[in-house]
């Protein structure tokens, strides 16, 4: 039999197998949207974020958050354990920025993760405003002894975030004393956005913070008029020794192949502003909720369903990398890795990375989501925490949601429960549960 026929035969075979889950998918969806579980993931998120607040890597709050989720998921009847990891411990301290010339003005700001502090008296210096790394290179002769303000336009998060990540080291190379970076957002109401930044080896470490879009544009206009701008920046930031933490793991063991795993995840840490409700409390809660829905319906798949709530994602997937290092010996038993970390707004599609044969299976799986009208499978499953698995060939999936407003609130004081919607979370939970359960219960693992 020619190979193409064989592939199509297998395809039609798996299509028939997946179609057999129409009723079970509908039961999961009905429970999530109209049954006893309606609004539950939202209520859980509200209880969690209202009780704990934000929970930055290394903080007491993150410790409390891990204990809270360990207890809550055990009370929910899941099999829960903690896996120890070491994580960065950066502390913001007291911080402020003031424009002194050409007129006094308070500048709303947030220091960036891993930044060094200023001397206690702060740094008072003239400002050089640039729009890009290219302009900084062109005007390198003007930068020495100054505070460099980056007023780069927002193109997309993935492109523009380079200024937050590398701005300090690029400015330090040309002799700058500190950097103030326009927040990485398409929309602002004078809201600064924090985030992690990376010093380059062998380059002097200078203090770095984000300011608002409005203040970056204000200083750019002043500079265009030829006005002298002077700013005083004070930051008490410091990095302490690595802290002890845990990835939080909850499971429903598979009845036939308990060693094989479908992994669902979100991260439990957040920045030290807002409530971390959107980033990534929502992703953590829908992953727990997916297991709750399956357990409530007394379903038990062939393979193990494992939720991992990552620690220290915001510092570059630190907890997840250690989880991968510990478990990669079993890489062949990981069937699918899933991560929700771009909001739990209205779901539009499932994003998927895997072989063509695996994609054929997943095309059939998303058809089961017809009752909630999310039957599109897109390319490129993504997630900082699951990327090590995908790089070794494990299929990966993520949610594509209506995330137009995600970067409005991202890493700000505005990331609170007010951003979340109970029905949208129910839809995400239903999708997450159906996909995870069906893949975990199919006769065969997804083809690599």
Q: What residues make up the domain containing 36?
A: 11-90+241-441
CA distances from 161 to 2, 145, 284, 407 (A): 49, 25, 24, 11
| Domain final residue, candidates 236, 270, 288 | 236
- Comparing C-alpha atoms, which of 223, 133, 214, 221 is closest to residue 179? 133
**What pLDDT does residue 9 have?**
40
Q: Is residue 8's pLDDT more than 60?
A: no
Per-residue pLDDT reduced to its tens digit, 382-428? 999 999 999 999 999 999 999 999 999 999 999 999 999 999 999 99
- Alpha-carbon span 3 to 348, nearest angstrom: 34
- Alpha-carbon span 318 to 256, nearest angstrom: 32
Same domain, 331 and 399: yes
Tell me the mean pLDDT in the region 34-63: 98
On whether the CB atoms of residues 311 and 66 are closer than 8 A, the answer is yes
**What pLDDT does residue 2 have?**
35
CATH number of the structural domain spanning residue 355: 3.40.630.10
Average pLDDT, whole number, for the chain? 97
Same domain, 265 and 408: yes
User: Which pTM value belongs to this model?
Assistant: 0.96
Is 379 contained in some domain?
yes
- Alpha-carbon span 386 to 403, nearest angstrom: 20
Burial of 259 (0-12, 13-18, 19+ CB in 10 A): exposed
Beta strands in 386-435 (DSSP E): 396-401
Same domain, 189 and 222: yes
Per-residue pLDDT reduced to its tens digit, 252-273? 999 999 999 999 999 999 999 9
**What pLDDT does residue 13 have?**
86
The pairing of strands 396-401 and 303-310 is: unpaired
Is 3 contained in some domain?
no
Catalytic residues: 313
Is 129 contained in some domain?
yes
CATH number of the structural domain spanning residue 116: 3.50.30.30
Tell me the mean pLDDT in the region 229-248: 98
Q: Is residue 7's pLDDT more than 70?
A: no
Same domain, 207 and 118: yes
- Helix (H) and strand (E) counts for the chain? 13, 16
Is 104 contained in some domain?
yes
Same domain, 86 and 100: no
Same domain, 86 and 104: no
Same domain, 194 and 256: no
The pairing of strands 230-235 and 95-101 is: antiparallel
The pairing of strands 147-150 and 178-182 is: parallel
Give me the residue label for tokens 């026929």: 5
**What pLDDT does residue 11 have?**
66
Same domain, 58 and 132: no
Tell me the mean pLDDT in the region 66-80: 98
Q: Which two tokens stand for residue 32?
A: 């999530």
Three-class DSSP category at 432: helix
Q: Is residue 60's pLDDT more than 70?
A: yes
Is 100 contained in some domain?
yes
**What pLDDT does residue 10 have?**
63
Q: Is residue 5's pLDDT more than 80?
A: no
Same domain, 142 and 211: yes
- Alpha-carbon span 281 to 299, nearest angstrom: 26
Is 6 contained in some domain?
no
Tell me the mean pLDDT in the region 109-125: 98
Structural domain count, the chain: 2
Is 330 contained in some domain?
yes
**What pLDDT does residue 3 have?**
36
Stated as kind and residue range, the H or E segment containing 111 is strand 109-111
| Domain final residue, candidates 185, 220, 236 | 236
| Domain final residue, candidates 201, 236, 271 | 236
Confidence class of residue 12 from pLDDT cuts 50, 70 and 90?
confident
Is 328 contained in some domain?
yes
Same domain, 132 and 257: no
Same domain, 124 and 260: no
Same domain, 285 and 230: no
């Amino acid at each position: 039999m020619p190979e193409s026929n064989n592939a199509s035969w297998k395809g039609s075979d798996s299509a028939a197998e997946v179609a057999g889950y129409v009723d079970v998918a509908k039961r999961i969806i009905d429970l999530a949207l109209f049954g006893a579980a309606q609004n539950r993931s939202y209520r859980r998120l509200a209880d969690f974020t209202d009780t704990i607040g934000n929970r930055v890597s290394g903080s007491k709050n993150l410790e409390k958050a891990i204990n809270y989720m360990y207890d809550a998921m055990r009370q929910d009847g899941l099999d829960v354990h903690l896996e120890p990891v070491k994580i960065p411990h950066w502390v913001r301290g007291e911080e402020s920025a003031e424009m002194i010339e050409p007129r006094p003005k308070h500048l709303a700001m947030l220091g960036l993760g891993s930044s060094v502090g200023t001397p206690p008296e702060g740094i008072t210096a003239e400002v050089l405003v640039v729009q890009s790394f290219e302009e900084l290179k062109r005007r390198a002769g003007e930068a020495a002894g100054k505070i460099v303000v980056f007023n780069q336009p927002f193109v997309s998060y993935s492109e523009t975030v380079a200024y937050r990540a590398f701005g300090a080291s690029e400015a330090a190379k040309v002799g700058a004393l500190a950097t103030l970076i326009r927040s990485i957002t398409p929309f602002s109401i004078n809201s600064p956005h924090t985030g992690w930044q990376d010093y380059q080896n062998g380059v002097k470490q200078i203090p770095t913070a984000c300011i608002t879009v409005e203040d970056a544009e204000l200083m750019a206009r002043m500079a265009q008029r030829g006005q002298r701008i002077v700013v005083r920046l004070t930051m008490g930031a410091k990095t302490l020794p690595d802290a002890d933490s845990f990835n939080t793991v909850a499971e429903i063991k598979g009845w036939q192949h308990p060693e094989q795993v479908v992994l669902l995840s979100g991260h439990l840490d957040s920045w030290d502003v807002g409530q971390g409700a959107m980033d990534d409390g929502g992703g953590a809660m829908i992953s727990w909720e997916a297991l709750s829905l399956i357990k409530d319906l007394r379903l038990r798949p062939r393979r193990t369903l494992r939720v991992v709530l990552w620690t220290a994602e915001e510092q570059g997937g630190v907890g997840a990398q250690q989880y991968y290092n510990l478990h990669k010996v079993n890489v062949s038993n990981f069937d699918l890795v899933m991560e929700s970390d771009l909001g739990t707004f209205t779901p539009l599609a499932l994003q998927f990375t895997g072989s063509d044969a695996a994609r054929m299976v997943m095309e059939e799986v998303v058809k089961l989501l017809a009752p909630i009208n999310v039957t599109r499978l897109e390319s490129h499953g993504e997630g900082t925490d699951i990327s090590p698995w995908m790089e070794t060939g494990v299929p990966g999936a993520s949610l594509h949601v209506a995330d137009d407003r995600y970067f409005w609130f991202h890493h700000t004081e505005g990331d609170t429960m007010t951003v979340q919607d109970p029905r949208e979370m129910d839809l995400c939970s239903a999708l997450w549960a159906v996909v995870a359960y069906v893949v975990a219960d199919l006769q065969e693992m997804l083809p690599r």
